């Protein structure tokens, strides 16, 4: 029996209910070794996948109630887990998100330009942090702080855990503070007087205090 014939036989054996020992009895030692090796690899791969699924389910129970937006994608960029905060933010149900490709959820342009390459870095074993602007379907442009961490060992079972925070309000506050500081510095450099208006709500009295 050559390797091709052995492969065909193995396929029929795996899908049949016949006795393993009875089947192996009719093949030569080389073919038996090939089948034993193939079966061993299949068992190891199955075991690794089941372990990865178990880790994923345990992780899902931990992150479901967190305020942070958390999603997990596999090596094919398919979303395999998303907590309630993530689903609420993107405005999708679990059925509309789980099992979908990342670009279907976040948009093709954002995926190709930013998200996809960052996921590839994480799949290579790196922890990745970055900020990006993303157009929300209801709220318009938002500032997002994103971090990716690899989950699982290297290989096909590795997945990417993403933690996303909307930092739009914080970034706008920082911009206002910077603008205010620049105005104060301009007034100082021009030698202009400046101060603070105080408004007493109880007496409805307004006073100017120079500084």
N-term to C-term CA, the chain: 97
Structure-model confidence comparison of residues 18 and 75, the more confident one = 75
* Confidence (pTM): 0.59
The predicted-structure confidence for 59-109, as pLDDT tens digits, reads as follows 566 566 678 899 999 999 999 989 889 999 999 998 999 999 999 999 999
Nearest to 59 by CA among 209, 160, 199: 160
- Per-residue pLDDT band for 179 (boundaries 50, 70, 90) equals confident
- Per-residue pLDDT band for 43 (boundaries 50, 70, 90) equals very low
């Amino acid at each position: 029996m050559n390797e091709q014939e052995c492969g065909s036989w193995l396929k029929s054996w795996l899908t049949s209910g016949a006795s393993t020992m009875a089947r192996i009895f009719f093949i030569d030692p080389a073919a038996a070794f090939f089948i034993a090796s193939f079966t061993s690899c299949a068992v190891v791969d199955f075991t690794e996948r089941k372990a990865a699924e178990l880790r994923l389910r345990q992780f899902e129970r931990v992150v479901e109630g967190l305020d942070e937006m958390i999603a997990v994608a596999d090596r094919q960029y398919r979303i395999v887990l998303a907590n309630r905060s993530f689903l609420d933010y993107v405005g999708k149900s679990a059925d509309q998100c789980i099992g979908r490709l990342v670009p279907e959820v976040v948009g093709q342009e954002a995926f190709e330009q930013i998200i996809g390459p960052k996921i590839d870095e994480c799949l290579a074993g790196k922890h990745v942090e970055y900020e990006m602007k993303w157009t929300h379907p209801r709220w318009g442009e938002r500032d997002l702080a994103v971090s990716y961490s690899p989950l699982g060992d290297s290989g096909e079972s590795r997945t990417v855990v993403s933690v996303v925070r909307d930092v739009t309000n914080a970034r706008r506050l920082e911009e206002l503070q910077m603008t205010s500081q620049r105005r104060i510095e301009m007034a100082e450099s021009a030698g202009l007087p400046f101060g603070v208006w105080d408004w007493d709500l109880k007496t409805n009295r307004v006073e100017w205090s120079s500084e």
